[in-house]
Structure 1
Amino acid sequence: MATDKYATIAEDVLRGVGGKDNVRSLAHCATRLRFVLVDPSKADKAAVEATKGVITVVEAGGQFQVVIGNTVSKVYEEAVAQGVDGGGGGGGAGGSGSLLARTIDLVTSIFTPFLWTLAAVGLLKAFLAVAVKISPGFGATSTYAIWFATADAVFQFLPILLAVTAAKRFKANQFTAVAVAGALIYSATIAVIPGPKGVAMTLQAFDAAGGKLTFLGIPVVMVNYLSAVVPTILAVYFQSQVERLVERVTPAVVRNFVTPLVTLAVVVPVSYLAIGPASTWVGDGLASGVDRLWGLAPWAAGGVLGGLWQVFVLFGVHWAFVPIMAQQLATTGHSDLTGALFAPVLAQSAATFAVFLRTRNRDLKGVAGPAAVSAFLAGITEPAIYGVTLRLKRPFVFACVGGAIGGAVAAAGGSAVDGFVVPGAITVTATLGLGNFALQLIGCAVAMAVAFALTLVFGFKDLPVADAKTVTGDEAAKGAGAAPTGTAAEDVVATLQTPVAGRVVPLAEVPDQVFASGAMGQGLAVVPSEGKVYAPVSGTLVSAMPHAFGIRTDNGVEVLVHIGLNTVELQGRGFTPAVTQGQRLNAGDLLAEVDLQVIMDAGYDPITVLIVTDPGGHSAVVPTATGDVARRHAALDLIG
């Protein structure tokens, strides 16, 4: 029986989630323990919520999230000490939930770390395609060749990237995984076997020339491993199983070199003999199935995909299509699926822009404008969906209608892309030369027109207009000591300041259940207009993560500044902390510098939350800031 307070909380929580054997992995952010459970049905949500020290429980994104507060790191350490896997990697090929949920979780964990690199090289290929259309002679220059190699290399050698992330997912040795992927790619890149005329050839070329490939007398069916997705993932999974077996039976004195030696000697030949041919057959079957669907009724397939794509994004199901797109590119050199996705993305931006024009709510207008631009240019629709259209319901439906019509038009014209791109206005050039480019443009235009017109004409239930006037600049400084409306100034014991400049959003409107419900405490949020975050109050920094900071004042008040929603997933990318845990702070001291564009490009909401997690005996926490504010404007008053 645990005696330490945090050990007791950890013990009770672990009992509530079904025991440590039911925990596949555990990670934590600034306030939450994030469990991935083997069997979610074994978790007793009510029991965990009733645990002293637990604020609430949220089940989202395939995770069982236990909200603890600023002391979450201590509870996490105790949970790990009690035998829970604290890697947070979701070890193993499995996961929790349905087969679809496990598949999405697997694909997400493997592709997400380098998804934006793929998007970047896809964008470069799109720019090169435009350049060649404008100046055909440019395609014959060495400058074009170098840039094309830059854009194409990542996709050609995709197995290397997959090996790294798949090894992390399956808890295999990453360097051995790279060696496995390298051995597969080697078959198509390095001359290693004498050909019919004695000239060295690659294994793939030797096979294509009629040579007989065998391993220990067993015939080898050679496939193309460049850009291979499914074979690489399965090979690394097999590697993880072989490694565990070898490590169990190998003496510790020789384990460090025997394990990779035996693993490579087994995994690479088995990949050539069985994994590669079998998985390539499956992958080719999926890609050809999509192609047949497009061949039978491309307009219908494009219409269904275009209409449902943003719904897929909403539930995270869109990740399941990424391997199919990659397999299409590897098999046929183009992706029909992606060709139908520009219309729904641009329709979402058009509906969001219509909201921007029609709404009278300043906060909503402030969110809708940037979200519409982000969706239109870069294809990042999450801010538009979660911050605007889904929030208002009708615009989201109107955007889906426009996406269905536009997707049908684009697919009817045979539109496709020849590289991995994130669909948006900039990357639509990737469809040049594949199908009818004019119909792609018409489909996008129609999708945007339909979504924009329906939203503007039929409208939506607007959010209430804030009564308070906008406060900025010198007015903010003058208002730093003002008492809240209806509260006598003598009742105000202390005032917290806004940590960032931007537009104030009521806590209830933050698109996160835990914050919005007030379960963590009272406060407000700010949609930041700059990337500098400051201490809202003087005190001691009791917790410091790149995206979140907990401060305790001298009289026991505990405050949390949380930058962005789910930004823990960025693992510090885009955040530059200026303080360290245990440091003494004065109100207005710089906490961190944040690259807001990195957060938004990764699909996360940069909204910054300020809450009082422990009022320290004060009777009330009253938000006072509204509208546009400068940093260090009066934000929250502590009463009594």
Structure 2
Amino acid sequence: MAKTDYAALAPQLLDKVGGEANIRSMSHCATRLRLVLVDESKAATEEIKGLPGVVTVVQAAGQYQVVIGNDVPVVFEELGRLTSAATGQEDAGGGGGNLFDRFIKVVSALINPVVWTLAGAGLIKAFLSLSVTLHWLSEGSTTYTILYAAGDSALYFLPILLAITSARHFKANEITAVALAGALVYPDIVALNDAGTAVTFAGIPVVMTSYASSLVPIIVAVWVQSHLQRALTRILPSAVRNFSVPLLVLLIMVPLTLITVGPLTTAASDGIASAMNALFETVPWLAGAVMGAFWQVFVMFGVHWGLVPVMLAQYNDPGYSLMAGPIFPAVLAQAAATLGVMIRTRNAKMRQLAGPASLSGFLAGITEPAIYGVNLPLKRPFLYGCVGGAVGGIIVAAGGGATDSFVFPSLIGIPALLNYGNLALTFVGMVVAVVISLSLTLALGFKDPAEVEPAGASDSVQAPDAEPTVTLGSPLAGRAVPLEQVTDPVFSSGALGNGVGITPAGEGSLRIVAPASGTLVTAMDSGHAYGIRTDDGVELLIHIGLDTVELGGKGFSPAVTAGQRVDRGDLLTEVDLGVLRAEHKDPTTILVVTNTASLAGVVPVVSGSVEPGDVVVEIDH
């Protein structure tokens, strides 16, 4: 069976759908590339159907669906290299989930291209801090200055890096976005913030704040820029558009960002600082819980800068900062959660990232790679870290743990904690934070991200000692029907392979089980589709309901994740049929052998009512 060159297919496909300008959004489900086109008439549908690797094209529900099969993630990844329209696996309408989920997805998408650089830079700072502690280097040496710049530049100028990824994501001009971000960290602007003097713009007061290492301000600014840019492009005449659009964008966006974001951030920072001061004076243990749980959240939104001046003032009077003590368990807890991800994950790329990210967090307190690259995208580890930080913060605050100098909260910074408070409780608090977050990550786990396999990896290659797969069991209880009776034309035509449809019996909760033993190569985020490759190379797709991808996981309770081994009869997911019917979704489940063409025979067994495990397909190798 000839392998498809998906790297060659992607540019052809992009060209024939009308180019990047004709793509409003792009996502994929288990077998289909789902495009929302500006003008579907510009797509050369018949030519696309003839491309190698394309099964067929379906135009339905406002989407231009290019059916690829199991290797659709590979095509999607290749297209992502050519266009900024990619948004990932499809969920509820391509943009489902609550506001927090959507925010996390956007932040993850924007930070992912730079997270490896942050991880490497974080390790430089970690080992540099270790070198100073062990007196291998002096902070006053030029060698230290050069190495510190190498390790700190990616973090300090994070807004500029995010300007690039944000511009690609929101389809704004990258160079203009970089200029916008550069203005926020421009030396003279930084000096205005450091000077603390009154700043105005055309008579409008400007509340200054630090944008170095910040995350949210530039993302919001570039999002606004993208809308402003498109509006100006429509309005301005072509003769002056090339220079006038970036001119007006910068003239508007730089002052607007400084005027709006600065006051909002400063107000939030001042409010948090005042509240924390009051809590430490009245209810120290509660203050420790808040600092331990939410310090990383403060950092993410840049409002922690309001707390730093308070801590610095406390080092002068009374000579120590109680506010800084609970930050240690907060940071160490997130590093421990990242360590837990490294131990538990089956995703090789995630493990490679989590290792150095955890190390830089433990040693130097540099948690950006851990937070943005690992814990926050996975969500649960971030919450586990917050829980561990909260408990540890309570213990440290209860013991009066405090620092007498400004250091990064880390293992290397522990000497700053030795002179104030109950030292035993301080160390217990840090250890408890690490143990809780690590234990929660290992015990409760997280949804492991699937790895995209190389093109052609799904071709049928039988393992030398693999037992041949001769039958497939029904994944659910119901009534087996011929595939041609399924209302979806892609499945009913047999374009994806031979198989059967099963209409579920009864109401309420429905169990979907594995029809054969093998490796779970696909498990959609929406929970509606699973791909299994058996040991002898038979490739199966279990698609639960029709158009159920649009539910975004509503009604589905997955029990497995991509990459794990499943045995015949193992539970894949539970489905609430009531939800599917309430949303007017056909609950018919499809079982197809997607590499039918490479097998001698795939024969459906349609015998009416079936129970889970009953033979519904016979296979001849």
Q: TM-score, normalised by structure 2?
A: 0.49
Compare relative contact order (CA 8 Å, sep 6+) and give the higher one, 1 or 2: 2
Q: TM-score, normalised by structure 1?
A: 0.47
